[in-house]
Structure 1
Amino acid sequence: MNPTRKRRLTIVVLIAAAAALAVGLGVYALQNNMNYLLTPSQVQSGQAADYKTFRLGGMVKAGSIQRSKDTLQVTFSVVDAGGAMPVEYTGILPDLFRDNQSVIATGHMDGARFVATEVLAKHDETYMPKELKDAMAKAHANKKVGEESAQGDMP
Structure 2
Amino acid sequence: MALNRLKKQRRIQVIVMAAIALAVSTALIGYAMRDGINFFRAPSQIIAEPPAPDEVFRLGGLVEADSIVRGEGLEVRFRVTDGGASIPVVFAGVLPDLFAENEGMIGTGVYVNGVFQATEILAKHDETYMPKEVVDALKEQGVYREPGDS
Deviation string for 1:55-96 (max 9, x for gaps)?
111111122111113x21111110111000010100011122
The alignment covers a number of residue pairs equal to 140
The structure 1 residue matched to 2:48, chosen from 45, 50, 72, is 45
TM-score (norm 2): 0.78
Distance 1:125 1:40 in 2: 23
User: Are 1:20 and 2:33 counterparts?
Assistant: no
**More helix as a share of residues:** 1
Distance 2:124 2:14 in 1: 55
Deviation string for 1:7-39 (max 9, x for gaps)?
553343123112112123323433542222221
Q: Report the counterpart of residue 134 of structure 1 in structure 2.
A: 136
The structure 2 residue matched to 1:36, chosen from 39, 44, 69, is 39
Distance 1:124 1:55 in 2: 20
The structure 2 residue matched to 1:57, chosen from 56, 60, 71, is 60
Give structure 1 stretches of 5+ with no counterpart.
Answer: 142-155
TM-score (norm 1): 0.76
% identical aligned pairs? 43
Deviates more, 1:79-88 or 1:32-41: 32-41
